[in-house]
């Protein structure tokens, strides 16, 4: 087992529903530690840059519009197998297909407003962490 870090973003729908604390509890109960966090209302440029990999996808514009529709809560999670563990806690992209008890099953409305983002690989976790945080903002503990 490897100690990893991953990026989690609580999306505008879940921040608006006031369930940041309930989602943090899921991380904590699974043994993931928050080692950096910030609430931010993303600019269009920031959201487009973050999701640049999806630029050619048909849902890109809707995704960007949604991600800038309100503040998001961005955190770096640290723990054993943090990347996969966070994806497991999140559940499937489409909440209709998300397993019972996952964050998306419990808090997401639709495939667009799906409550959370999580890095999909260790490599992307490092890229996404650097996108939002300076090295000095990480607090290993």
Annotated binding site for ATP: 11, 59, 87, 93, 104, 114
Supply the minimum distance, in Å, between the C-beta of residue 64 and ligand RTP.
10
Q: Which of 66, 68, 117, 118 is catalytic?
A: 117
- Is 73:60 a contact under the CB 8 Å cutoff? no
- Is 115:104 a contact under the CB 8 Å cutoff? yes
3-state secondary structure 21-51: HHHHHHHHHCCCEEEEEEEECCCHHHHHHHC
- Taking the C-alpha atoms of residue 88 and residue 19, their distance in angstroms, rounded to an integer, is 18
Between 25 and 99, CB nearer to Mg ion: 99
Give the footprint of ligand RTP on this chain (CB under 6 A). Answer: 54, 59, 63, 93, 111-112, 114, 117-118, 120
Supply the minimum distance, in Å, between the C-beta of residue 97 and ligand RTP.
10
54 is catalytic: no
Between 106 and 120, CB nearer to Mg ion: 120
93 binds, among ligand RTP, Mg ion, none (CB under 5 to 8 A by kind): ligand RTP
28 binds, among ligand RTP, Mg ion, none (CB under 5 to 8 A by kind): none
Please report, for residues 27, 46, 50, 100, 105, the alpha-carbon distance to residue 64 in angstroms, rounded to integers and kept in the order given.
25, 9, 9, 28, 22
Segment 114 to 133, residues that bind Mg ion, using CB under 5 A: 120
106 binds, among ligand RTP, Mg ion, none (CB under 5 to 8 A by kind): none
Nearest 5 degrees, angle CA 137-CA 123-CA 19? 55
- Taking the C-alpha atoms of residue 60 and residue 47, their distance in angstroms, rounded to an integer, is 10
Look at the block and give the residue holding tokens 């991600």: 67
Task: Point out which residues bind Mg ion (CB under 5 A).
Answer: 120
Catalytic site residues? 117
């Amino acid at each position: 087992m490897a100690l990893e870090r991953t990026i989690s973003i609580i999306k505008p729908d879940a921040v608006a529903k006031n369930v940041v604390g309930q989602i943090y509890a899921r991380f904590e109960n699974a043994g993931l530690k928050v080692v950096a966090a910030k609430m931010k209302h993303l600019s269009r440029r920031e959201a487009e840059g973050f999701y640049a990999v999806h630029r050619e996808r048909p849902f890109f514009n809707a995704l960007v519009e949604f991600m800038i529709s309100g503040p998001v809560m961005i955190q770096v999670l640290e723990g054993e197998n943090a990347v996969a563990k966070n994806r497991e806690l999140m559940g499937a992209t489409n909440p209709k297909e998300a397993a019972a008890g996952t964050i998306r099953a419990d808090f997401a409305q639709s495939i667009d407003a799906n409550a959370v983002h999580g890095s999909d690989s260790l490599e992307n976790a490092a890229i996404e962490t650097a996108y939002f945080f300076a090295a000095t903002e990480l607090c290993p503990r």
